[in-house]
Amino acid sequence: MARSPALVPAADAPAPRPRGRPRKSTQDADDSGRRHELMEQAARLFLTQGYAATTTRDIAAAMGMHSGSPFYYFKSKSALLYAVMREGMEMASASQQRALQAVAGMDARTQMRALVRHHFEILLGPRSGFIPVMLYEWRSLTAAQRKGVSQIKDAYEAAWMPALDALARQGALHAEPAIARLFIFGALNWAVKWFDRRGTRTLDQLTEDALALFFGGAAASIPSHSP
């Protein structure tokens, strides 16, 4: 009796595809790592030399690449600047969310300390090039690029409002929370100009200084720890 065709294994049938996302190839992983390193080097040069004075040749040299190689990853220097700002802001937003999750359910003073300490980390910490570039080179973006970065920046800053609102209700904040937020970010961001990483003041100490300035005695009741 002939076997049913449905029961005969098809030698040429394709193997079933595994569920979930396909694994990245080694080349994809290498490209992703090189792309991120390229952004880090560009951010460093944009900070030290300025965006206008930095050429793609400078960036390629810092990477040990041929002069045209950065264009494999970014179509232009402007696109690279935008990526530095946008992806830097996305990373800052993600790490801020983790910092807030670590103090979820705690009092508003503790949450504010976590926010200030995290912000100093992304401004002044060892991997802090991305956000300071945004502060210095904002006008170098196109209008469309500024809009793209602003959406992420606005969400990042909005995450401070629940703690500020709570501190205002407690009488620890003597200003309208939305206006206070603008003053606070202006003051914290300016630390990029004057903070000396080689000095003796740590980011934890700087955080306590900021809290004492903005919220009076709030700093003394907040435990000191890195995010």
Which tens digits make up the pLDDT trace of 30-48? 677 888 899 999 999 999 9
Is the pLDDT confidence value at 226 over 60?
A: no
Is the pLDDT confidence value at 166 over 50?
A: yes
| pLDDT digits 0-9 by tens, 13-25 | 444 544 554 554 5
Residue 38 maps to a domain:
no
Q: What rounded mean pLDDT belongs to the chain? A: 84
Residue 69 maps to a domain:
no
Residue 22 maps to a domain:
no
| Total tally of structural domains belonging to the chain | 1
Confidence of residue 123 (pLDDT cuts 50, 70, 90): very high
Q: Looking at residue 11, what is its pLDDT?
A: 39
Is the pLDDT confidence value at 158 over 80?
A: yes
Q: Looking at residue 181, what is its pLDDT?
A: 97
Q: Looking at residue 19, what is its pLDDT?
A: 53
Confidence of residue 222 (pLDDT cuts 50, 70, 90): very low
Q: Looking at residue 86, what is its pLDDT?
A: 93
CATH number for 96? 1.10.357.10
Residue 170 maps to a domain:
yes
Where on the phi/psi map is residue 110: left (φ > 0), alpha (ψ -120 to 50), or beta?
A: alpha
Residue 131 maps to a domain:
yes
Distance, CA of 88 to CA of 71 (rounded, Å): 20
What percentage of the chain exceeds 70 in pLDDT?
82
Is the pLDDT confidence value at 225 over 90?
A: no
Q: Looking at residue 216, what is its pLDDT?
A: 82
pTM for this one? 0.78
Q: Looking at residue 46, what is its pLDDT?
A: 94
Residue 9 maps to a domain:
no
Question: For 102-106, what is the mean pLDDT?
Answer: 96
Distance, CA of 153 to CA of 181 (rounded, Å): 13
Distance, CA of 81 to CA of 46 (rounded, Å): 8
Q: Looking at residue 217, what is its pLDDT?
A: 58
Q: Tell me which residue range forms the domain holding 109.
A: 78-221
Residue 227 maps to a domain:
no
State the burial class of residue 80 (Cβ atoms within 10 Å of its Cβ: 0-12, 13-18, 19+).
buried
Q: Looking at residue 34, what is its pLDDT?
A: 87
Give the number of other CB atoms < 10 A from CB of residue 212.
13
Distance, CA of 227 to CA of 224 (rounded, Å): 10
Question: For 170-174, what is the mean pLDDT?
Answer: 93
Residue 27 maps to a domain:
no
- In this predicted model, which residue has the larger pLDDT, 191 or 218? 191
What percentage of the chain exceeds 90 in pLDDT?
65
